[in-house]
Structure 1
Amino acid sequence: MTVKSLIASFTQQEDLNFLLTNRVPRAALTRFMGWFSKIEQPQIRDLSIACWRLFSDLDLSEARKSDFKSLHDCFTRELKPGLRPSDPDPLVVVSPCDAIVGAFGAIADTELFQVKGAPYSLLDLLGDSALVEQHRNGRFVTLRLTSSMYHRFHAPCDSRIEQVNFISGDTWNVNSIALKRVEKLFCKNERAVIRTRLDSGEALTLVPVAAILVASIRLHFLDLLFNAESRGPTQVHCDVTVRKGDELGWFEHGSTIIVLAPDHFEFCDNVVDGARIRAGQPLLRKPL
């Protein structure tokens, strides 16, 4: 058995995993990681990336460059051009990121779930009753990014971004073990609510959720960085037109994006619990 498989077996023990990734000073550790990851010192950078490889399936073969200034530079890496083409069908909403498909389905009035048997409400997630009404009985899908994945996220369709609300909060881990144990976890963590409007006038909302080591979300179209030092709620009105596949921003580690869509949208065949999906691949389809 390899060292990596031994570590994986050790950390997959649920009680131990939850203890190591949650029963720690989450906010302080996240702030420390934000500082440490930006250190531009070759030995620290190389040792950090080597440890990261040891604990994950990190693959840098798709990265646009092979030399990184820091661990942070590696976390937020760009990919080689053309590696994440978006499905060209105008009726298809694509995945905004590389991810593992988590919970998905119909919103029951205003209730959705983080895992089976663990519900939460749209109002607790969004903090905006008017936006809740636009997604009542709609569709949702949870996309979880692991630490080794490509961390940038993109526009899932042609749309206009109208507003961004930043909601400050905790930094619980968002892995499957924590989702089973922490009630309404997504509603407790720091998150950005990105309100977009389709060409048809319908609402499509993205909710990037931060997590331990990840309380930092960069939004290019506003040139803003929401992080552990931010205090919310912060509401930013905007009028930004984006095309499917345009880069919107990045996480500074792995985390989660919740996609909220209209009720008549259908899930594409590749949206299966636990499936891996890449940015640009079909997620939802608008019926003719």
Structure 2
Amino acid sequence: MASHYTSLLSRLFGKFAVTSFPGPFQRLINRSYVRLMGLDMSEFAPAESYSSLNRLFTRALKAQRSIDPDPLAVIAPCDALITDLGTISDGKAYQIKGMAYDTAALLGEHYASEAERLEGGNYANFYLSPRDYHRYHAPMDLKIESITHIPGRLYPVNMPLLKNKLNLFIENERVILQAADRQGRRHFLVLVGALNVGKMVVTFEERIHTNTAPGPARHYRYETPISLKKGELFGWFEMGSTIVMLSQKGALEYEIEAGEKVRFAQTIGRLKEDG
């Protein structure tokens, strides 16, 4: 099967983004990108210090942000806009108001039976724009039990397409983390790829290679689950995209609303003690 044009475009842009150009030209590229996208660089190294545009995309924070130590506090996994959040009903969640999608289809065949456990639970969509900090972190203490990579297209996940293209998250390439919280309740973190570069990095799983070639889903289960502490870095997008968080009924309660801008480490909800 041939690659979709969105994947080809993303690979071409990716080659440009990872190239380190001669110093003056690279500094011009970086400064131009910062101005064009309106990046706030106050928490990061100067734009001129990054050796490629991709290094600028995936920049690390200079200092750790403060995290609520309360084990019940749930934090934002990234800097993002909440495009929608709510309750999973009849197996449906929403990419944005009025645009429903099937959670079982989003999770794929490896988690088909798990989707039933999510009925009545919560979903939240975190949209990372090209100007946002691109790294993602654990929103709570989690045990990662398995991970699945589902190849797909790389349509943009911006507001116009969220409002007009059905099943956008399902058509796009994605990486799905199956996890349990401290009480053993089920959560999924779905990393959705997007146009340009289109790569998603998971620090603890080197077998995941996104935006390479079409093929079947790849599923990896861990005999010993991978432990992530709240706030721990577990990867990054190489350009902006979306994280979908799905949680079983009774696991947590959000304290944010659709349309709200959140920052990594901000408390956005609370785990329930009994769920």
> 2: CA distance between counterparts of 1:80 and 1:65?
10
- Flag the 1:77–1:118 CA change in 2: closer, same or farther, 3 A: same
One of 76, 85, 109 as aligned partner of 1:95: 76
> 1: CA distance between counterparts of 2:177 and 2:15?
26
One-letter identity of the residue aligned with 1:31: R
1:13 aligns with: none
1:211 aligned counterpart, secondary structure: coil
2:195 aligns with: 212
1:226 aligned counterpart, secondary structure: coil
Segments of 5+ residues of structure 1 without an aligned counterpart are 1-23
1:27 aligns with: 7
> 2: CA distance between counterparts of 1:198 and 1:81?
27
- Flag the 1:31–1:44 CA change in 2: closer, same or farther, 3 A: farther
RMSD (Å) for aligned C-alpha atoms: 1.8
One of 235, 238, 246 as aligned partner of 1:252: 238
- TM-superposed CA distance for 1:156, in Å, is 0.8
- TM-superposed CA distance for 1:65, in Å, is 6.0
2:263 aligns with: 278
Give the TM-score normalised by the residue count of structure 1: 0.86
Runs of 4+ deviating beyond 4 Å:
none
1:119 is aligned to 2:100: yes
Segments of 5+ residues of structure 2 without an aligned counterpart are none
Residue range with higher mean Cα deviation, 123-132 or 230-239? 230-239
Any residues of structure 2 matched to 1:178-197 within 5 Å, and which? Answer: 178-197=161-180
- TM-superposed CA distance for 1:216, in Å, is 0.5
CA contact (8 A) 2:185 2:251 kept: no
1:81 is aligned to 2:46: no
- Flag the 1:232–1:222 CA change in 2: closer, same or farther, 3 A: same
Any residues of structure 2 matched to 1:40-79 within 5 Å, and which? Answer: 40-41=20-21, 42-64=23-45, 67-79=49-61
Instruction: String of CA shifts for 1:8-51, please: whole Å, max 9, x gaps.
Output: xxxxxxxxxxxxxxxx9422210011111111112442232233
1:19 aligns with: none
- TM-superposed CA distance for 1:224, in Å, is 4.4
Q: What fraction of aligned residue pairs are identical, expressed as a percent?
A: 31
- TM-superposed CA distance for 1:229, in Å, is 0.4
One-letter identity of the residue aligned with 1:251: F
Instruction: String of CA shifts for 1:65-96, please: whole Å, max 9, x gaps.
Output: 651111011111110122x2322221122111
